[in-house]
Amino acid sequence: MLQNMPFWPARASAAANNVDALFIFLVVVSGLMTALIFTMVVYFAVRYRRQAGRRAEQIDGSHALEITWSVIPFCVFMVFFAWGAVIYFRQRTPPQDSAEVYTVAKQWMWKFEHMEGQREINELHVPVGRDVKMIMTSQDVIHSFFVPAFRIKQDVLPGRYTVTWFHATKPGTYHLFCAEYCGTSHSGMVGSVVVMEPKDYEAWLTGGGNQPLAVTGERLFSELGCITCHRSDTPGRGPNLVGVFGKPVMLEDGRTLTADENYLRESIVDPSAKIVRGFKPIMPTFQGQISDEQLNALVAYVKSLGPSQSMPTGGKSMAAAPTETQ
């Protein structure tokens, strides 16, 4: 029903249903509240207009009323809060085995890199029915990845990764907007997300002949000399990276953290920030020597180093069976 309503944005993701439901609830409650206030103001203005012989009746107030119209709205607000919080929490927690797309935003374009190696500019092809996680960074200023049809938005920052995800439910082409003012062509940083049926998506994938992202990363890992210290066969001067992603890491100052994309990225561009316990701070920094895309490839490679894998097959690609809707 909503699909055909004029001025309603396309609904093409699992999240869109939840967001629209809360929105409609808010519209209804707000509409009722507005109607109530408007009606009362107009009614009082007319009913209690000045009339000869009648004076205004002074009423100091009413504690009961004050409490009532504080508590009841507050309870309603808590419903809004809780519902909104649930949606948000889900939106900020990408499912574990989402397919991944690395994104580099720059003035004024979107650069996407699929795990299979496809690169796209301003256009993002995804299959319907799969969880897709966007791992994003900016080359310059703050941008924001906004797909109205999916009801998602996430600022994209320089110097770190931010993450968002979606589960497309309807094939079609949808707007992609940059939603954080980023200079002259902010309004030109517009593209599309093309949602395809799985078999169409497979066909699109194979028409590339690209090197999977993690394989590119493996090549870089060797070319840049990472492999000399980070060995998996014998203990090296750097920590063994096999299976490191997603696991706790103990640092030499006693802190423990989970190795996520940002940790991997930071370890490459600012290695002295966090030293793994038992190792010396001898790793050189690669900041300024590799591009964001190369950084993405290295991160994708390290992520692919699972304990049972000997060859990188490219992290989570989308050319696998669709997962259930969240």
Binding to another protein in span 168-197, by CB under 8 A: 175, 177-188, 190
For the bound state, the minimum distance from the C-beta of residue 9 to another protein, rounded and expressed in Å, comes to: 5
**d(Cα 220, Cα 202) in Å, to the nearest integer?**
27
Strands 191-196, 123-127: parallel, antiparallel or unpaired by DSSP? parallel
Beta carbons of 195 and 150 less than 8 angstroms apart: no
For another protein, the closer of residues 74 and 256 by Cβ is: 74
Which parts of 66-95 interact with another protein (CB under 8 A)? 66, 69-70, 73-74, 77-78, 80-81, 83-89, 91-93
Which part of the chain contacts another protein (CB under 8 A), choosing from 4-12, 96-104, 221-229, 232-240? 4-12
Using the CB atoms, write b or e for 242-258: b if 16+ within 10 Å. Answer: bebbeeebeeeeeeeee
Beta carbons of 110 and 176 less than 8 angstroms apart: yes
320: enclosing H helix or E strand:
none
For the bound state, the minimum distance from the C-beta of residue 81 to another protein, rounded and expressed in Å, comes to: 5
Which parts of 251-310 interact with another protein (CB under 8 A)? 270, 272-273, 275, 280-282, 287
For the bound state, the minimum distance from the C-beta of residue 21 to another protein, rounded and expressed in Å, comes to: 10
For the bound state, the minimum distance from the C-beta of residue 322 to another protein, rounded and expressed in Å, comes to: 24
For the bound state, the minimum distance from the C-beta of residue 181 to another protein, rounded and expressed in Å, comes to: 4
13 near another protein, rule: CB under 8 A: no
Q: How many degrees, rounded to 5, is the angle at CA 121 between CA 260 and CA 160?
A: 25
| Residue 124 phi, psi dihedral angles, 5° rounding | -125, 120
**d(Cα 154, Cα 164) in Å, to the nearest integer?**
6
Which parts of 112-171 interact with another protein (CB under 8 A)? 140-142, 144, 146, 148-149, 151-155, 157-160, 162
Which parts of 22-61 interact with another protein (CB under 8 A)? 22-23, 26, 30, 33-34, 37-38, 40-41, 44-45, 48-51, 54-61
**d(Cα 285, Cα 19) in Å, to the nearest integer?**
43
For another protein, the closer of residues 50 and 247 by Cβ is: 50
Sign of CA dihedral 196, 201, 207, 212: positive
Per CB under 8 A, the list member of 12, 14, 19, 124 interacting with another protein is 19
Beta-carbon contacts of residue 240 (< 8 Å; ≥ 6 apart): 230, 231, 232
How many chain residues interact with another protein (CB under 8 A)? 90
For another protein, the closer of residues 208 and 284 by Cβ is: 284
For the bound state, the minimum distance from the C-beta of residue 243 to another protein, rounded and expressed in Å, comes to: 26
Nearest partner of 189 among 103, 126, 127, judged by Cα: 103
Beta-carbon contacts of residue 2 (< 8 Å; ≥ 6 apart): 8, 11, 20
Beta bridge partner(s), residue 133: 100, 165
For the bound state, the minimum distance from the C-beta of residue 303 to another protein, rounded and expressed in Å, comes to: 21
Q: How many degrees, rounded to 5, is the angle at CA 313 between CA 312 and CA 317?
A: 135
**d(Cα 177, Cα 281) in Å, to the nearest integer?**
42
For another protein, the closer of residues 49 and 199 by Cβ is: 49
Binding mask of the shown chain, residues 192 to 221, with x at each position contacting another protein by CB under 8 A: ------------------------------
Per CB under 8 A, the list member of 65, 247, 278, 311 interacting with another protein is 65
For the bound state, the minimum distance from the C-beta of residue 206 to another protein, rounded and expressed in Å, comes to: 29
96 near another protein, rule: CB under 8 A: no
